[in-house]
Amino acid sequence: MKPQFSAWTQALVSAVLLAGSLSVHAADRKIFVANEGAGTVSVINAETFKLTRHIAVGAGAHNVQVSPDGKLAWVTNNGTPKSAAAGMAHAGMSTAEHGALSQAGEVWSIDTETDEVVARVVVGKHPAHVVVSADGRWAYVTNGGDNTLSVVDTKSLKVVDTLPTGEYPHGIRLSPDGKQAYVANLKGGTVSVIDTESRKEISQIPVGKGPAQVGFTSDSRLAFVSLSQEASVAVIDPVSRKVIRKVRVGNVPIQLYATPDNRFLFVANQGSRKSPGNTVSVIDLSTFSTQRIQTGIGAHGVVVGNDGRHAYVTNLYANTVSVIDVRSRKSVATVAVGVGPNGISVSP
pLDDT at 19: 39
Helical (H) or strand (E) element with 14:
helix 7-26
pLDDT at 28: 86
Q: What is the pTM of this model?
A: 0.88
**Rounded distance, CA 219 to CA 216, Å?**
8
In a domain, 117, yes or no: yes
Q: In the sheet that 30-35 helps form, which strands lie side by side, from edge to edge? A: 50-56, 40-45, 30-35, 341-347
Q: How many CA atoms lie within 13 A of 21 on its CB side?
A: 6
Helical (H) or strand (E) element with 247:
strand 242-248
pLDDT at 83: 41
Which domain, by its residues, includes 58? Answer: 30-164
**Rounded distance, CA 305 to CA 301, Å?**
13
pLDDT at 26: 54
In a domain, 149, yes or no: yes
Contact yes or no for 11/326 (Cβ under 8 A): no
CA 321-267-248 angle, to 5 degrees, is 145
Interval 201-249: pLDDT, tens: 999 999 999 999 999 999 999 999 999 999 999 999 999 999 999 999 9
pLDDT at 348: 86
In a domain, 269, yes or no: no
pLDDT beneath 50, residues of the chain: 1-25, 83-101
pLDDT at 187: 97
pLDDT at 102: 57
Nearest to 43 by CA among 80, 18, 87, 73: 73
Interval 31-78: pLDDT, tens: 999 999 999 999 999 999 999 999 999 999 999 999 999 999 999 999
In a domain, 127, yes or no: yes
pLDDT at 279: 98
Q: How many domains does the chain have?
A: 1
In a domain, 120, yes or no: yes
**Rounded distance, CA 314 to CA 270, Å?**
10
In a domain, 51, yes or no: yes
Cβ-defined contacts of 111-118 (< 8 Å, 24+):
111/71, 111/72, 112/30, 112/32, 112/66, 112/70, 112/71, 112/72, 112/73, 112/347, 113/71, 115/43, 115/52, 115/53, 115/55, 116/55, 117/55, 117/56, 117/57, 118/72
Q: Which amino acid is at 181?
A: A
In a domain, 152, yes or no: yes
CATH number, position 154: 2.130.10.10
In a domain, 139, yes or no: yes
